[in-house]
Chain A
Amino acid sequence: EAQVTQNPRYLITVTGKKLTVTCSQNMNHEYMSWYRQDPGLGLRQIYYSMNVEVTDKGDVPEGYKVSRKEKRNFPLILESPSPNQTSLYFCASSLSGTAGNTIYFGEGSWLTVV
């Protein structure tokens, strides 16, 4: 089954404690990205990657890092989480980043930073 898998799905952590949210897709997609979704603000892109070893900042990259060492994986790293990073996070992938290629979303990761 074609899917985008994120882990963990739910996490409560403390300020400053580094965490990684993993993302994996099994569709051989080149393009992967991370979004955060907050009430009243909609989906905002954090980082995206057009292919292995190629990453770019989205609209809200501050406080986040990513890496793309393999095609299927695109982890999101919060080096020193802060309460304003409490959000619902979605990983997404598509065949490429162009034109009509549909974006497939993971199930989401609820992150709370206290």
Chain B
Amino acid sequence: GQNIDQPTEMTATEGAIVQINCTYQTSGFNGLFWYQQHAGEAPTFLSYNVLDGLEEKGRFSSFLSRSKGYSYLLLKELQMKDSASYLCAVREDSGNTPLVFGKGTRLSVIA
């Protein structure tokens, strides 16, 4: 079976830091993706983790702990344009298998 959990909604203040958590229970694991999706638009790629640890890319960082089935996306220096849904997705094995998406976390950045 497969289960990916993220909080449904979060609110944070402009300029602050926010951490969006994702926990997963899948039959296998071969990488975790984070996508950003603005309302009514296509998801766009943010980050990919396959090994434990932190991957940093500008204001966004993503962390993975495979033993805990846990990842987080860290957004620093929040801007109003960061208001969007953030999708966690897991690839279960190394073959040509589909990504399994969580339901997404809707982040609202307020002034």
A residues sitting closer than 8 Å to B (CB atoms) are 31, 33, 35, 40-45, 48, 50, 58-59, 88, 90, 96-100, 102-108
Contact = CB atoms under 8 A, between A and B. Distances in A.
A98 B42 contact: no
Contact of A98 (B45, B95, B103): B95
A99 B94 contact: yes
B101 interface: yes
Interface residues of B, number: 24
Contacts of A59: 98
Contact of A97 (B33, B87, B98): B98
B96 interface: yes
A90 B89 CA distance: 15
Given A42-B101, A42-B102, A48-B98, A100 B41 contact: no
Nearest to A42: B103
Interface of B: 30-31, 33, 40-45, 48, 50, 87, 89, 91, 94-99, 101-104
Does more than half of chain B's interface fall in helix, strand or loop, or is it mixed?
loop
Nearest to B43: A105
Nearest to B99: A103
Nearest to A107: B42
A97 B98 CA distance: 7
A96 B40 CA distance: 26
A33 B96 CA distance: 12
B98 A43 contact: no
A72 B103 CA distance: 29
A97 B95 contact: yes
12 contacts: A42-B101, A43-B101, A48-B98, A90-B42, A98-B30, A98-B95, A99-B30, A99-B50, A99-B91, A105-B43, A106-B42, A108-B40
Given A99-B50, A100-B48, A105-B43, A40 B103 contact: yes
Nearest to A33: B98
Nearest to B97: A97
